[in-house]
């Protein structure tokens, strides 16, 4: 085996960015990336969009392919699962019997889809999206003329619905809540998203649960709580994700809605760090509120900060949460934590909308927007900087399209 060096368990966004950041920050010792998929690290956001709709897909959208891994001297152990950390021996035990020594270790194991807890839901009739293999299996079901039931009105469910429509499927989206995008997006914004989906032909069943799934005459039938039925050729569930904490639990690391880390992304073991979808951390802008974020940028940013701290730094993680989702020709972006707001100020941009979320003391704590990317992206970025500075902008000026947000940033 290699000499003890920097070892990363999890070859997703956070793990790949951490490995690259170690080289960028001058570390020339061993870096080993351990992943349970056969591929090198790849981007996950395109799985529900470009991978679904492209005419042909030959490989995942790599972050680090074999050539880049080799060029940066990053060791990659694919297709294996880390089952335990022997903390006393400073080794990671793999399911093929190998033991990988480490000087510092990063746990970046990500999250896994939450499974549908209803009678009749099995791995054979309900698809979930997390990996490239999942995307290929789902893509094979999105055949023109087929009927698809999408369960879950969050970002993943809506993106899959849009991709399925683009491939010629008839889509019905089922959501137990009274509207889509219940977490952190204003009702007016969610309604705009739904209107665009309806325009594309998506049908909605909202505010109703699922009683069971049955197979009849070669098709699947989703039986709803009110007795009505949705008959389809395929079912996709996008009802959230749960942190992948099996390795942390088997290794007696503290777990609290994910692998528990401190402001420097260090776990309860000072030589082990965590980053990405698998970990929860305190955020200084929100009074130390412990968050667990499932987003591309958070995984990227945490991976890079964790890498620098593994190399001896003491950098607190304070990046403002940010998320985006493509919905047909519209982009939805969210920065900060909208649920921290007590009041919402809307700015009408004509072809788009911005929603500013203010805390009781007047601080801007979140912003969400929908419209063409060229219309909203810059303002969301400026609002993100205002959130980081704990700015208290005047609500009237926020609402007025005549006020350039950059002038508020300077206040």
Q: How far apart are CA 11 and CA 134, in angstroms?
A: 16
Q: How far apart are CA 32 and CA 43, in angstroms?
A: 19
Q: Which of 238, 159, 173 is nearest to 201 (CA)?
A: 173
Q: Which of 131, 123, 141 is nearest to 38 (CA)?
A: 131
Q: Are residues 227 and 122 in the same domain?
A: yes
| Residue range 181-186: mean pLDDT, rounded | 87
Distances (CA, A) of 344 to 74, 212, 273, 279, 398: 47, 39, 37, 30, 10
Q: Are residues 120 and 227 in the same domain?
A: yes
35: CATH: 3.50.50.60
Q: Is residue 163 part of a domain?
A: yes
Band (pLDDT 50/70/90 cuts) for residue 218 is confident
Q: Is residue 204 part of a domain?
A: yes
Among residues 206, 237, 268, which one ends one of the domains?
Answer: 237
Q: How far apart are CA 395 and CA 358, in angstroms?
A: 9
Q: Is residue 22 part of a domain?
A: yes
Please give the tally of structural domains in the chain.
Answer: 3
Element (H, E) at 25: none
Q: Is residue 315 part of a domain?
A: no
Among residues 211, 237, 263, which one ends one of the domains?
Answer: 237
Average pLDDT of the chain is 96
Q: Is 89 exposed, middle or buried (0-12, 13-18, 19+ CB in 10 A)?
A: exposed
Assign 144 to helix, strand or coil.
Answer: coil
344: CATH: 3.30.390.30
Residue 403 CA, chain-centre distance (Å), reads 33
Q: Is residue 317 part of a domain?
A: no
Q: Which of 242, 250, 303 is nearest to 108 (CA)?
A: 303
Q: Are residues 125 and 145 in the same domain?
A: yes
Q: How far apart are CA 276 and CA 81, in angstroms?
A: 18
Q: Are residues 48 and 22 in the same domain?
A: yes
> How many residues comprise the chain?
411
Band (pLDDT 50/70/90 cuts) for residue 183 is confident
Band (pLDDT 50/70/90 cuts) for residue 169 is very high
Among residues 215, 237, 259, which one ends one of the domains?
Answer: 237
Q: How far apart are CA 409 and CA 411, in angstroms?
A: 6
Q: Name the DSSP letter for residue 220.
A: E
Q: How far apart are CA 29 and CA 284, in angstroms?
A: 33
Give the CA dihedral 304, 260, 249, 152, nearest 10 degrees: -80
Q: Are residues 134 and 232 in the same domain?
A: yes
Whole-number pLDDT of residue 263: 98
Band (pLDDT 50/70/90 cuts) for residue 1 is very low
Q: Are residues 302 and 223 in the same domain?
A: no
The tens digit of pLDDT for each residue in 328-371 reads 999 999 999 999 999 999 999 999 999 999 999 999 999 999 99
Q: Is residue 294 part of a domain?
A: yes
Q: Is residue 323 part of a domain?
A: no
Q: Are residues 54 and 154 in the same domain?
A: no
Beta-carbon-side half-sphere exposure of residue 143 (alpha carbons within 13 Å): 7
Q: Are residues 119 and 228 in the same domain?
A: yes
Residue 3 has pLDDT above 90, yes or no: no
Q: Are residues 204 and 257 in the same domain?
A: no
Element (H, E) at 69: helix 66-71
Residue 195 has pLDDT above 90, yes or no: yes
Q: Name the DSSP letter for residue 42.
A: B
Instruction: Find residue 194's DSSP bridge partners.
Output: none
Q: Are residues 397 and 385 in the same domain?
A: yes
Residues of the chain above pLDDT 90, percent:
96
The tens digit of pLDDT for each residue in 127-160 reads 999 999 999 999 999 999 999 999 999 999 999 9
Structure tokens at 298: 């958070």
Q: How far apart are CA 389 and CA 17, in angstroms?
A: 26
Contact call for residues 186 and 347 (beta carbons, < 8 A): no
Q: Are residues 165 and 55 in the same domain?
A: no
Instruction: Find residue 341's DSSP bridge partners.
Output: none
The tens digit of pLDDT for each residue in 277-311 reads 999 999 999 999 999 999 999 999 999 999 999 99
Q: How far apart are CA 206 and CA 185, in angstroms?
A: 16
Between 411 and 237, where is the model more confident? 237
Listed in sequence order, the residues at least 6 apart from 16 whose beta carbon sits closer than 8 Å to its beta carbon are 33, 41, 63, 64, 303
Residues of the chain above pLDDT 70, percent:
100
Whole-number pLDDT of residue 312: 97
Band (pLDDT 50/70/90 cuts) for residue 409 is confident
Per the structure, the complete domain to which residue 217 belongs is given by: 115-237
Q: Are residues 106 and 120 in the same domain?
A: no
Q: Write the Ramachandran bin of 284: left for phi over 0, alpha for psi from -120 to 50, otherwise beta.
A: alpha
Backbone φ and ψ for 66, nearest 5 degrees, come out as -60, -40
Whole-number pLDDT of residue 2: 56
Contact call for residues 366 and 359 (beta carbons, < 8 A): no
Whole-number pLDDT of residue 327: 87
Q: Is residue 271 part of a domain?
A: yes
Backbone φ and ψ for 121, nearest 5 degrees, come out as -85, 120
Count of CB atoms situated within 10 Å of the CB of 193: 23
Backbone φ and ψ for 290, nearest 5 degrees, come out as -80, 125
């Amino acid at each position: 085996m290699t000499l003890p060096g920097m070892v990363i368990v999890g070859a997703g966004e956070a793990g790949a960015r951490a490995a690259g950041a170690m080289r960028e920050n001058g570390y020339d010792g061993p870096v080993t990336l351990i992943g349970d998929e056969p591929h090198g690290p790849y981007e996950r956001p395109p799985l529900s969009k470009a991978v679904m709709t492209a005419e042909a897909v030959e490989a995942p959208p790599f972050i680090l392919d074999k050539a880049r891994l080799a060029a940066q001297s990053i060791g990659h152990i694919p297709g294996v699962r880390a089952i335990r950390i022997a903390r006393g021996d400073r080794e990671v035990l793999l399911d093929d019997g190998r033991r990988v020594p480490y000087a510092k270790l990063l746990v970046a194991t990500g999250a896994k889809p939450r499974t549908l807890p209803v009678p009749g839901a099995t791995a054979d009739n309900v698809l979930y999206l997390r990996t490239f293999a999942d995307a290929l299996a789902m893509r094979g079901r999105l055949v023109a003329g087929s009927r698809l039931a999408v369960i879950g009105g969050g970002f993943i469910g809506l993106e899959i619905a849009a991709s399925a429509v683009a491939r010629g499927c008839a889509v019905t989206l089922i959501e137990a809540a009274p509207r889509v995008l219940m977490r952190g997006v204003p009702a007016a914004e969610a309604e705009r998203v739904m209107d665009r989906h309806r325009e594309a032909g998506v049908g909605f069943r909202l505010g109703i649960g699922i009683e069971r799934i049955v197979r009849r005459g070669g098709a699947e039938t989703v039986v709803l709580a009110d007795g009505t039925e949705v008959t389809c050729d395929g079912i996709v569930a996008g009802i959230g994700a749960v942190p992948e904490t099996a390795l942390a639990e088997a290794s007696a690391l503290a777990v609290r809605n994910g692998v528990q880390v401190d402001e420097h992304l260090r776990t309860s073991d000072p030589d082990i760090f965590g980053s990405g979808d698998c970990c929860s951390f305190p955020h200084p802008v929100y009074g130390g509120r412990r968050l667990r974020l499932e987003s591309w940028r958070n995984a990227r940013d945490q991976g890079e900060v964790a890498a620098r701290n593994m190399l001896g730094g003491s950098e607190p993680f304070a990046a403002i949460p940010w998320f985006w989702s493509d919905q047909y020709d519209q982009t939805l972006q969210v920065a900060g934590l909208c649920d921290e707001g007590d009041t919402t100020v809307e700015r009408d941009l004509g072809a788009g909308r911005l929603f500013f979320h203010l805390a009781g003391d007047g601080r801007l704590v979140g912003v969400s927007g929908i419209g063409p990317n060229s219309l909203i992206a810059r303002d969301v970025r400026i609002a993100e900087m205002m959130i980081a500075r704990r700015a208290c902008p005047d609500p009237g000026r926020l609402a007025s399209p005549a006020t350039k947000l950059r002038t508020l940033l300077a206040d």
